[in-house]
Amino acid sequence: MKAYNIKRAALCVALGTCLGIMLPTTAMAQNVSGAVAGRATAGDQITVVNAGTGLTRTVTVGVDGSYRLGQLPVGDYRLQLSRDGQTLGEQVAVSVAVGGTTTVNLASGGGVTNLDALQVVGTRVINRVDVYSTETSFNINRQEISRLPVAQDLSAVALMAPGVVGGNSSFGGLSFAGSSVAENAVFINGLNVTDMYTRRGFSTAPFAFFNEFQVKTGGYSVEFGRSTGGVINAVTRSGSNEFKGGVEVTAEPSAGRSSGGDHFHRDGTPHSYGSRDNNSFLKTNVWGSGPIIKDKLFLFAMYEDRNDRGHNTSSDGSTWFKNKSGNGFWGTKLDWNINDNHSLALLAFSDEGDVTNASYAYAWDDNRLGDWGGDSITETGGKNWSATYTGHFGQNFTARAMVGQNNQRAFTNSSLDQACSPVFTDSTYGTRLSKLQGLRAGCHPTGTAVAERDDTRDVARLDFEWQLGDHLLRFGVDRELMTTDQTTRYPGPTALSYTAYVARPGDEVWDGANAYV
């Protein structure tokens, strides 16, 4: 009986191990690359060449007639079949997408076939059904989305995937298949850029900085930890052997926008004013790419200046707000093909920005500005970087190592912080002295505490992929160290707050002193 139990336990362990290595997931390290796989004649050589950088990878077809070229940078390739040093058939154009496996099956003569041995005639072979993965995902590249009438940001891309909806007005964010808006993760070139404090936002970059997007809504693998909702996986653009550059200017003048409306209650009293609000937007984007060393070292760089200006009134029409924002984004990607088996990629970008909101007293009926009430300045964003090494050791073993850092800042302050202490009021301030009603106590525009927060995420991870015949074994380890540095204080020279109230004659005011008329 004891021997039987030992045999049964050994069988369970063996089955569990086999099932683990037979899982058909095919990407690793946040799926920043793709693969080409299929069937051909055993012993033949399959070679793919990147059309932009000249990167070349070759693999020998296994005895079972299958082959796989993993960890290929996203892009367009030319595939060639060779036998005994002689090329067979014509080159096949293959597109490698982020996180996916493109299937190309080759006949003995080098022609493209399907599993039924029917010849397919064409210059571009893409299997839209990824038979190597069980995850539910949506892929789209920059060229495809440029032809669609959607907003140019990551959230708009994610909303194109089935099951993704926008969050409610209170929390914002995105909901994947009914999950909360705080259960998602966003990656740029494998670097986790999710807001670590609120979990609702993420570090941003101009839409033109990206090359391809993948939205995972379910069934994704274990390396996408720390998320139970969905994943937005974006890959940035890279340089190639061809020098390229461009300038794009986007203008949205206030004259081209529709006007808001004023809303009133049934008795004619105003509910909210909006007819005098306006906003204008100007964006200038400059980018360039090309080889530093042909076939070896490539650079992509971008700078974008964004300016948003406008004004609006408070709902009661008593305050006029002037706002302006600035964001001088910069980003760069450096790719070094050390040789065909080893490569290094460096990414750095900054999404630092600020918004200034100035308030003024305002008389709606006379359309006249009054005294300045101070400025409120909000600072966001931060500098981010990552370094990724990819090595192919033989035909069946691949290793990838990445280190990086994600920084985000949240700081709202006022130009009157140093001069004005916060003054709060109790109920007696307005009820006991009617002439004070509508007046703001103190000179600080908000009267709230000044909070400054800097969040830092340090990332390190190792990923390995080992092809064992028909099976693919993937394993790795990652570590994220998240640090928050936050300070909170009252504005003003003393960092103290005060309360204003109106006392009746005879009331005790402070330490035995009485109020009198």
- pLDDT, tens digit, 9 for 90 and up, residues 456-499: 999 999 999 898 877 888 899 999 999 999 998 888 888 888 88
**Alpha-carbon span 83 to 60, nearest angstrom:** 10
Mean pLDDT within 266-278: 85
Give the 3-state secondary structure of residue 27: coil
Please, where in the chain does CATH 2.170.130.10 lie?
Answer: 141-236
Residue 178 zone, left/alpha/beta (φ > 0; ψ -120 to 50; rest): left
Instruction: List the Cα angle 462/466/472 in 5-degree steps.
Output: 115
**Alpha-carbon span 458 to 454, nearest angstrom:** 13
Query: For residue 152, what pLDDT is reported?
Result: 79
Instruction: List the Cα angle 169/173/176 in 5-degree steps.
Output: 115
Does 123 or 220 have the greater pLDDT score?
220
Query: For residue 169, what pLDDT is reported?
Result: 59
**Alpha-carbon span 185 to 342, nearest angstrom:** 29
Q: Phi and psi for 358 in degrees, rounded to 5?
A: -100, 135
Q: Phi and psi for 437 in degrees, rounded to 5?
A: -65, 135
CATH topology of domain 32-125: Immunoglobulin-like (2.60.40)
Residue 64 burial (10 A CB sphere; 0-12, 13-18, 19+): exposed
Helices and strands, counts by H and E, the chain: 4, 34
Query: For residue 431, what pLDDT is reported?
Result: 56
Long-range contacts of 495-500 (CB under 8 A, 24+ apart): 496/421, 497/421, 497/422, 497/423, 497/424, 497/447, 498/421, 498/422, 498/423, 498/424, 498/442, 499/423, 499/424, 499/425, 499/426, 500/423, 500/424, 500/425, 500/426, 500/429, 500/441, 500/442
With a cut of 60, say whether residue 364 has pLDDT above it: yes
Model confidence over 226-271: pLDDT tens digits? 888 889 999 999 999 999 999 999 898 888 788 888 888 888 888 8
Model confidence over 53-64: pLDDT tens digits? 999 999 999 888
Model confidence over 76-117: pLDDT tens digits? 999 999 998 888 888 889 988 888 888 898 877 667 655 444
CATH 3.40.50.2000 for domain 141-236, yes or no, is no
Give the 3-state secondary structure of residue 190: coil
Model confidence over 152-202: pLDDT tens digits? 788 888 888 888 888 665 677 888 888 888 889 999 999 999 998 888 889
Q: Name residues whose C-beta falls within 8 Å of residue 416's C-beta, 6 or more positions apart in sequence.
A: 374, 375, 443, 444, 445, 491
Query: For residue 2, what pLDDT is reported?
Result: 45
Residue with tokens 């993760």: 185
Please, where in the chain does CATH 2.60.40.1120 lie?
Answer: 32-125
Query: For residue 436, what pLDDT is reported?
Result: 53
pTM comes to: 0.79
**Alpha-carbon span 141 to 384, nearest angstrom:** 23
Does 275 or 26 have the greater pLDDT score?
275
